Chain A
């Protein structure tokens, strides 16, 4: 097994841990954190393919990961603000309680 495959195995295992957390927990914050883990696993893939790809000098993977980190930070801020807003209306952070779009 080459190092690239090892990196890919690591990132897919991390993705699946995040997926299991996002699907099986019912706390909104934990679901959001699971999604963040999945996003980070995707970034690991970019770095692995940049490092072991045919053109490591181009730096495309690094730049893509930088943009992905910036967008993920924005997503985390908006997601947690939504959690706080839902908690203020419903007094709960369970996903099952936020089941209607009416305020």
Chain B
């Protein structure tokens, strides 16, 4: 159990760090797909199968395609130009900030006595229960999410669409 979690964590963090350090945008997009798949593996490990499959469908399937489209559409020149770390000051600032946040978070987590029993009961929530909850108490939120997705995707199309040049006068 713990060994599986450590393995997932190692692969996940390795893929994420490599993606953030990579100088090739396509490599980092593909490494991030690996990191998202690792997150899906974590959900499977934790017993949330439906969320794991949602993660695979949404991130590994859809968001990764959108990211790759964006990378290819915004590529300058014929080859995949390497992406430089062009500001050393910015990089050092980012690393110091992230390290500080990591220190604070890890200190807080490791210093807090977590009140959990050693072996929690197997918490399997079936898809039927999940669906009943989504359509019952959370039906309003489900509808709002549908509206948000529709509006956001229409807005994305409008933002990214090419402005049509005016027709020349006949």
Contact present for A9 and B156 (CB under 8 Å): no
- B90 at the A/B interface (Cβ < 8 Å)? yes
Chain B residues whose C-beta falls within 8 Å of the C-beta of A93 in the assembled complex: 74
Contact present for A26 and B109 (CB under 8 Å): no
Please count how many residues in chain B sit with their CB below 8 Å of the partner chain's CB atoms: 82
The residues in B between 74 and 125 inclusive whose CB is less than 8 angstroms from any CB of A are 74, 76, 83, 85-87, 90-95, 97-99, 101-102, 105-106, 109-110, 114, 116, 118, 120-121, 123, 125
One of A17, A66, A70 near B17 (C-beta < 8 A): A17
How many A-B contacts at CB < 8 Å in the complex? 227
One of A7, A57, A82 near B123 (C-beta < 8 A): A57
Contact present for A47 and B51 (CB under 8 Å): yes
Kindly report which residue of chain B lies nearest to residue A96, judged by CB atoms.
B87
The residues in A between 50 and 89 inclusive whose CB is less than 8 angstroms from any CB of B are 50-52, 56-57, 59, 61-63, 65-67, 69-78, 80-85, 87-88
Contact present for A29 and B105 (CB under 8 Å): no
Please classify how large the interface on chain A is, using the bins under 10, 10 to 19, 20 to 34, 35 or more.
35 or more
0/1 per residue, B144-166, Cβ < 8 Å to A? 01001100110111011010000
Chain A residues whose C-beta falls within 8 Å of the C-beta of B102 in the assembled complex: 12-13, 16
Chain B residues whose C-beta falls within 8 Å of the C-beta of A25 in the assembled complex: 20, 83, 85, 94
B61 CB to nearest chain A CB (Å): 10
B46 CB to nearest chain A CB (Å): 5
The residues in B between 1 and 48 inclusive whose CB is less than 8 angstroms from any CB of A are 1-2, 5-6, 9, 12-13, 16-17, 19-20, 25, 28-29, 32, 35-36, 39, 42-43, 46-48
Q: A29-B25, A63-B138 provided; 12 other pairs, C-beta below 8 A?
A: A4-B116, A16-B101, A20-B95, A24-B95, A30-B83, A33-B32, A50-B46, A51-B47, A63-B134, A74-B152, A78-B156, A81-B159
Residues of B near any A CB (own CB < 8 A): 1-2, 5-6, 9, 12-13, 16-17, 19-20, 25, 28-29, 32, 35-36, 39, 42-43, 46-48, 50-51, 54-55, 58-59, 62-63, 66-67, 69-71, 73-74, 76, 83, 85-87, 90-95, 97-99, 101-102, 105-106, 109-110, 114, 116, 118, 120-121, 123, 125, 129-130, 133-134, 138, 141, 145, 148-149, 152-153, 155-157, 159-160, 162
